[in-house]
Structure 1
Amino acid sequence: MSDGYDPDFLGIPLRLPSPEVETIRLDYPRFSVLLDPVRRFAALTAVVIDGATLRDVPRSGEWRLDPRAPESQAGPDVYSRNDLDRGHLVRRRDPGWGTVSEARDATAATFFYTNAAPQAAGFNQSKELWLGLEDHVLAYADSTDQRLAVFTAPVLDDADPPYRGIRVPLRFWKVAAWRSPEGLAAAGFVLDQTALVDTREGLTVAPLGAFRTFQVPIREIAAEARIDMGDLAGADVLARAGARATGAREVGAPSDIVL
């Protein structure tokens, strides 16, 4: 089953955002990856989530290369013998909805290296918040039909530090979109691990450092990541009438998020 991202899933047409660079599109159950073959990481991932039918299936799947693009993805050598995690871009849980069989197949598909990017190992409050953003937005969207489209990727900056033949992304972005009573709504976020990762002498990860999570205007994310966000920018809750201002807002707890 390789149905990929569904642009009509929210009941409002929402096309896939378009990176400036050439990419390889790879479809998986309920999600798609646009792979940058030069950087060997995803320039964009897109998943649709039906919160009403999410399944809590046991973790299954081993990290593996996608044979459709064997030379275009950063593989196990990047993550061995260091303090880097293979960070899921599409969360394991997000496509795991529908029947038990469908949920199991979809969550297992998130373990392809095309869906991974290096993140500093270990958890703290800010990373737990990042991993739970979809759940928080789903809870907010409960008044409609609990459906989300979520787009996530590293910011592939030319200044990212080199390591083992790749460049380690220092920032990650996420945009969640849902259907509100007024129409399409969206919120954008950035996770910054700059203070944690140092590749000048091999690789070191600061053991007590903090990930920093920000809510950021989607237009700024589009400019930084060099991606055409289409209708998402105009649907940004930070830009709607009456919302507090523009610019990045650091998020320390769910109560800091503007929805």
Structure 2
Amino acid sequence: MNPTDPPSSQPPSPPPPRAGGPRRDALAGRSGYDEAFLGPVVPLALPARTSVETVILPYTHFTVVFRPDRRLAASTAVCIEGRQLVEDVARDDIWEYDPRLPEEQQAGNDVYRNNSLDRGHLVRRLDPVWGAVAVAGQANTDTFFYTNAAPQADVFNQGKQLWQGLENYLLDHAAEFDRRLCVLTGPVLQDSDPPYRGIQVPLRFWKVAAFMQDGALASTAYVLDQSPDLSRDAERALAGAKAGAPPPLGAFRTYQVPVSDVAEITELELGPLPDVDLMPPLRAPEERWRRLETFDDIVMQG
């Protein structure tokens, strides 16, 4: 355009939608987690705890049960359709507040800024990304709300690698119902969790997987522990090296645990899942929480 020409009266073009799905200005149409995903005979309700206030937030193929008092999720539940997973959806990596909640009730970027904490996905990014391309893209985008994150150490080690690959491993054992899984996940929220920037940082996370095996409902449960080395001065470790510093979280340790133990430490109602646990209940006390070094260590026979 010539510099002497008058400016165009046309409005500027709107920015293109982000990779992974439509713009995030509306969540009203999200249907969330499907309690009958594994079949109407074995409905699985959202993990619930009636003694604390929670807000139910449905997204695409998953739902977050959110605790405003902790500014974090109490639990999440996702439906995974293994035969329809879409693997080539671009990672979004742009985190936003859920507009259905006040921002001050959510642990946002101020918690993760200029420190060693990662925004740890509770519902793994790839798990709800299945179905038609547009739906898969929307699900990918939905996993990047702060309501689906919790602080985790930024180190990457074998324990974390096992944790992140559990769903893939378990899908291979869910062929009886078209490789479908329901995965329930959340932080273990305890009053003793160390404070940092207006929240309390969870030291452990839990995961319960439900699927059909030999025509019957089955479950397994896991705990990820990022506690510091408590053989040293525990109070000093949890308080941080200096005032205002995040807790010095330890290396990730992944355990297979009884489903009933997850229900006990979280105080969540897990429905029929403790009764269909594939981990034998009568193990020696020192083996009740089974430290996983490889996927071959997972017990998959009741």
Counterpart position of 1:203: 245
How is 1:1-259 mapped onto 2 (pairs within 5 angstroms)? Answer: 1-11=29-39, 12-20=42-50, 21-56=52-87, 57-70=89-102, 71-195=104-228, 198-200=238-240, 201=242, 202-203=244-245, 209-239=250-280, 247-259=288-300
- Give the residue type in structure 2 aligned to 1:17: P
Return the letter of the residue paired with 2:99: P
What amino acid does structure 2 have at the position aligned with 1:203? A
Higher strand share: 1
TM-score, structure 2 normalization? 0.81
Cα drift, residue 250 of structure 1: 0.8
What is the CA-CA distance between 1:91 and the residue it aligns to?
Answer: 0.4
Instruction: Tell me which moved more, 176-185 or 27-36.
Output: 176-185
Structure 1 spans left out of the alignment, 5+ residues: none
Any conservation in 2 of the 1:34–1:44 contact (CA below 8 Å)? yes
User: Percent identity of the aligned residues?
Assistant: 52
Q: CA deviation at 1:204?
A: 5.2
Q: TM-score, normalised by structure 1?
A: 0.93
Distance 1:149 1:157 in 2: 25
- Report deviation, 1:198: 4.1
Instruction: For 1:203 and 1:135, locate their aligned partners in 2 and report how far apart those are by CA, in whole Å.
Output: 35
Shift of 1:142: 2.6
Q: Between 165-174 and 198-207, report the one with greater CA deviation.
A: 198-207
1:147-200: CA deviations, max 9, x gaps? Answer: 000000000000000111110000000001001124110000000000277443
Once residues 128 and 115 of structure 2 are traced to their aligned partners in structure 1, the CA distance between those partners, rounded to angstroms, is: 29
- Contact 1:126–1:212 (CA under 8 A) maintained in structure 2: yes
**Conserved 8 A contact 1:83-1:205:** no
Read off the aligned partner of 2:95 and give its amino acid letter.
W
Number of aligned pairs?
A: 256
Residue 99 of structure 1 deviates from its aligned partner by: 1.0
- Following TM superposition, the consecutive aligned residue runs of length 4 or more in structure 1 with deviations greater than 3 angstroms are 196-199, 204-207, 243-246
Q: Can you list the C-alpha shifts for 1:190-247, whole angstroms capped at 9, x where unaligned? A: 000002774432335759x52111111111111101101111111111147xx85672
Q: CA deviation at 1:60?
A: 1.9
Indicate if the aligned counterparts of 2:188 and 2:203 stay in contact, CA closer than 8 A: yes
Q: Which amino acid aligns with 1:37?
A: P
Structure 1 position 76, deviation (Å): 0.7
Do the aligned residues in 1 keep the contact of 2:176 with 2:215 (CA within 8 Å)?
no
- Separation in 2 of the partners of 1:210 and 1:60? 27
Counterparts of 1:104 and 1:195, CA distance in 2: 37
The secondary structure found in structure 1 opposite 2:159 is helix
What amino acid is the match of 2:53? E
